[in-house]
Amino acid sequence: MTDYFFTLFDTALGRCGLAWGDAGIVAVSFPEADDAGTVAQLRRRAAGAVEMPPPAHIRRVIDDIVALFNGEPRGFDYVKFDMEGIADFDRDVIALTLAIKPGETKTYGDLANALGDVALSRRVGQALGRNPFPILAPCHRIVGAGGLMTGFSAPGGTITKQRLLKIEGALAPDLFDAL
């Protein structure tokens, strides 16, 4: 049996959570209604996880998430993920998402084409909705056709998605960013 651990941490979006084990990051959670909800979200993938102060390599990930949400560009290409229990199709979608660098975006159709058929676009969207590693496996870099901001479940929804893409340089600032 694998031991899992979690910690909660404050960000500009609210109190997030991260779960890990020996094989890597197991889950990341955006803020839920309360801490109990965030812990429950983490335990969906990290059953039995116990709260623990993060070791240095996990602290680095947390610090980078906090910095990103504060407007400082960050990359997460150093993160090790625990893919145990993730369906093959979802793993393939996550792998394609991980290949998208900060400052870039792809469409659901782009990912579907890379998987062999544009008709898989809906399945790609569903897989991204199940992404257990939001921010780290950057589903915010996936946009609808023509750059349409769609499908982002973080607090603030597509406005948060746009903000993250602006921080990373994928979108230019607009008039209201200075306000």
Please identify every residue annotated as catalytic: 139
Residue 26: closest CA among 55, 56, 1, 47: 47
The values of phi and psi at residue 98, to 5°, are -65, -25
Say how far apart CA 46 and CA 56 lie, in whole Å: 20
**Those residues with Cβ within 8 angstroms of residue 171's Cβ, 6 or more apart along the chain or in another chain:** 162, 165
172, with CB counted inside 10 A (0-12, 13-18, 19+), is exposed
The values of phi and psi at residue 8, to 5°, are -110, 150
**Those residues with Cβ within 8 angstroms of residue 170's Cβ, 6 or more apart along the chain or in another chain:** 102, 103, 104, 105, 141
